[in-house]
Amino acid sequence: MKTRLTELLGIQHPIVLSGMSWISVPELVAAVSNAGGLGILATGTLNAEQTRKAVRRIRALTDRPFGANATLYFPGARENAQALLGERVPVINFSMGKGDWIVDAAHAYGGKVIATVTTEKHARAAVSYGTDALLVTGHEAAAHGGDVSSLVLVPAIADAVAAPVVAAGGFADGRGLAAALALGAEGIAMGTRFMATQESPVHADCKRLAVEKGIGDTVYSTRFDGQPCRVMVSSGSRRAIRRGLDLKRAVFSSREIAAMLGVPYLKLALGVLASGWKNTRQLAHLANAFKAFRIATLQGDVERGVLPLGQVAGLVHDVPTVAEVIERIVAEAATAQASLARRIA
């Protein structure tokens, strides 16, 4: 299947692995790329040196195109992005910030850049400074989707900009891929579907939950990490949302983040405080959320932790290999397109 996205990135299938913290690790990234899609490494929980090692690990596992993300709002994100540029990563995906400097530096070595956006305004801005493609995240997505559903957001942005659009939020099978193409997208990105695969590092209990849960088993709230965020309904998520911002917990959580990133805690704390109260509140939210995500994702504990999960979990019914997922989706999309053509005729 050829689209503007496959031509732009040099991939076989217009299917992208979303960059999910603790999930989109080198082994899963390489599995997606080896199966003909585009794997995207998540760097939000890594420091610059860990990012470089992860990129080199991916290159040892695949000779196909791959990408890596940088969530510019996170501490250490700029250093991670610079590490990606230094490693000449083929595709860099940025979000939550202005990535014009990433675009310029990546283009200098022939790299491509994808911006993650949830609004037309941000889509237009990203394209204005040369971003090659947009990953458009609708309301259905796990974690930080937009306020507008993919059914409306994707065609609106596809009409608004000339750059190829990758649709994210609500996609898990070939019917979704065919629908995304009909809406004007050039491919899809998937998180929840790839989370529930054999190569995924997610705890087996959470893979089981992803299969068992239905389309109504998630909640979308700003009270978990300070931004609109979709997570699985559980005792852990109910407690976190009811509690809201807990500054005392954030102090302890931020110490763990500083250690994880290899940054002196005092330096991290002073940098956060210097950014202003609004930003400090947001980062305090994120500090608690990071810990909760890690506990659920890696330990399978949804009593203390919180699992990001898309509404599309209701369409996930098994835990196959990555290659099986991609092969199935491509075949289903062809069938769906042929069926639609017959109906229209």
Strand partners, 133: 114
The CATH number of whichever domain residue 34 belongs to comes to 3.20.20.70
Cα(137)–Cα(125) distance, integer angstroms: 16
Strand partners, 166: 135, 187
174 domain-assigned: yes
309 domain-assigned: no
Whether residues 80 and 160 share a domain: the answer is yes
CA dihedral for 54, 27, 63, 98, sign (positive or negative): negative
Comparing CA positions, the residue from 73, 44, 76, 52 lying closest to residue 267 is: 76
Which of 233 and 270 is assigned the larger pLDDT? 233
Range of the structural domain that residue 262 is part of: 218-299
Whether residues 135 and 44 share a domain: the answer is yes
Per-residue pLDDT of 235-263, as tens digits, reads: 999 998 888 766 566 555 556 655 666 66
143 domain-assigned: yes
Whether residues 192 and 263 share a domain: the answer is no
Helix-strand-coil split of the chain, %, nearest 5:
50, 15, 35
Whether residues 45 and 146 share a domain: the answer is yes
Question: Average pLDDT of 110-137?
Answer: 98
* Residue with tokens 């002196």, as numbered in its chain: 264
Whether residues 187 and 63 share a domain: the answer is yes
Cα(339)–Cα(329) distance, integer angstroms: 15
251 domain-assigned: yes
What is the number of domains present in the chain? 2
Mean confidence (pLDDT) of the chain: 91
Whether residues 159 and 64 share a domain: the answer is yes
Whether residues 169 and 277 share a domain: the answer is no
Question: Average pLDDT of 91-118?
Answer: 97
Strand partners, 155: none
Give the type of residue at 105: A
pLDDT computed for residue 76 by the predictor:
84
Q: Is the pLDDT of residue 281 over 60?
A: no
38 domain-assigned: yes
310 domain-assigned: no
Tokens of 310: 């898309």
Cα(233)–Cα(27) distance, integer angstroms: 28
Query: Residue 190 — very low, low, confident or very high, per pLDDT cuts 50/70/90?
Result: very high
101 contact partners, CB below 8 Å, separation of at least 6: none
Cα(118)–Cα(139) distance, integer angstroms: 9
Give the type of residue at 210: A
Which of 278 and 94 is assigned the larger pLDDT? 94
268 contact partners, CB below 8 Å, separation of at least 6: 75, 254, 257, 258, 261
Whether residues 250 and 149 share a domain: the answer is no
Per-residue pLDDT of 285-302, as tens digits, reads: 666 677 889 999 999 999
Pairing of strands 218-221, 229-232: antiparallel
Cα(244)–Cα(203) distance, integer angstroms: 26
- Report the half-sphere exposure of 341 (CA within 13 A, side-chain side): 7
Cα(207)–Cα(205) distance, integer angstroms: 5
Whether residues 150 and 295 share a domain: the answer is no
76 domain-assigned: yes
Tokens of 255: 């110490």
Cα(300)–Cα(100) distance, integer angstroms: 38
Whether residues 188 and 235 share a domain: the answer is no
CB neighbourhood size of 22 (10 A)? 16
- What burial class does residue 80 get, using C-beta atoms within 10 Å of its C-beta: 0-12 exposed, 13-18 middle, 19+ buried? buried
Strand partners, 117: 136
Whether residues 192 and 137 share a domain: the answer is yes
Question: Average pLDDT of 118-145?
Answer: 97
pLDDT computed for residue 104 by the predictor:
98
Phi then psi for residue 99, to 5 deg, are -110, 30
210 domain-assigned: no
Whether residues 97 and 246 share a domain: the answer is no
